Amino acid sequence: MLSKKQISWINALKVKKYRKKQQAFIVEGEKNVAELLQSHFNIIAIYALESWTIKNKKICNLHQQTLHIISPKELKRISNLHTPNEVVAIVKLPTNDDTQKQISQALQQPLQHHVLALDDIRDPGNLGTIIRIADWFGINTLICSPTCVDAYSPKVVQATMGSIFHIQLIYNDLEQLFESNAKIPVYAALLQGKNIFDTDFSKKGIILMGNESQGINEKYFKYMSKAITIPRKGKAESLNVAVATSIICAIACK
């Protein structure tokens, strides 16, 4: 049985301010929760229908302390989905305290994999899709500018389809990132640049993608090693940023 207080505590986590305050975020749906359970993330609570607990007996034994069985009606009151799934988990937000340590570890040279840096991605669906793409192509580190949408919003988490639990995600000032890692090449996606099919991506580096409508902020141009572009054959004026990221990652990581 969920108390009113619990329900409002959970629902508050839909708002970034309260996620920060309570240092927690919501994970919803079977696929996302399954990936969560296999990750190193700290689970604060699991709210599940009985149907889910029957299918996940082992997990329920392991998480007895945090598991709460709820009714479909209660689930509806805490869910973010039009058609609520069977399970909602509340998870501890990863701390950003040791960001610099994380970044220097992730950028230890020579890089084993490309790293993705995002400048000011605003749309939750785009960020979620990009996280899923990074995960598909084995890009383990994603560095977001502080103006990017919060990756722990329910919409982003949902769109990652569990991939948010596979990759390392860091919010950090990008200028500072480039300044401190001057030797790492920066491949910056622009509407005009070198054809990605003629670009040598063999030296692993940072792939930089820009905002949905403005592209990459000009202040980062001086850090670019290569401006790269997806050749256009038809008439469309632009590609969606998640689509462009997927094409560039496919070529760069092939």
Q: Quick check: 224 and 194 in contact, CB under 8 A?
A: no
Q: What are the DSSP calls for 184-247, one per residue? A: S-EEEEEEEEEEGGG----S--EEEE-BTTTBS-GGGGGG-SEEEEPPP-SS-S---HHHHHHH
Q: Which of residues 213-232 bind a copy of itself (CB under 8 A)?
A: 230-232
Q: Does 243 bind a copy of itself (CB under 8 A)?
A: yes
Nearer to a copy of itself, 6 or 245 (CB): 245
Tell me the per-residue interface mask from 133 to 152 with a copy of itself, x by CB under 8 A, - otherwise.
xxxxxxxx------------
Q: Which of residues 60-99 bind a copy of itself (CB under 8 A)?
A: none
The structure tokens 């990605």 sit at 196
Q: Does 169 bind a copy of itself (CB under 8 A)?
A: no
Nearer to a copy of itself, 21 or 203 (CB): 203
User: Which of 166, 168, 193, 199: binder of a copy of itself (CB under 8 A)?
Assistant: 166
Token pair of 112, please?
């084993």
Q: How far is the CB of 216 from a copy of itself (least distance, A)?
A: 19
User: Which of 2, 7, 161, 191: binder of a copy of itself (CB under 8 A)?
Assistant: 161
Q: Does 191 bind a copy of itself (CB under 8 A)?
A: no
CA distance linking residue 141 with residue 253, whole number of Å: 14
Token pair of 134, please?
């990074």
User: Which of 132, 211, 220, 241: binder of a copy of itself (CB under 8 A)?
Assistant: 132
Q: Does 202 bind a copy of itself (CB under 8 A)?
A: no
Which of the stretches 6-14, 69-77, 157-165, 218-226 binds a copy of itself when contact is defined by CB under 8 A?
A: 157-165
Q: Which of residues 21-60 bind a copy of itself (CB under 8 A)?
A: 31
Q: Does 204 bind a copy of itself (CB under 8 A)?
A: no
Q: How far is the CB of 220 from a copy of itself (least distance, A)?
A: 24
User: Which of 129, 145, 153, 158: binder of a copy of itself (CB under 8 A)?
Assistant: 129
Q: Does 235 bind a copy of itself (CB under 8 A)?
A: yes
Q: How far is the CB of 164 from a copy of itself (least distance, A)?
A: 10
Residues that bind a copy of itself (CB under 8 A): 31, 129, 132-140, 161-163, 166-167, 197, 230-240, 242-243, 246-247, 250-251, 253-254
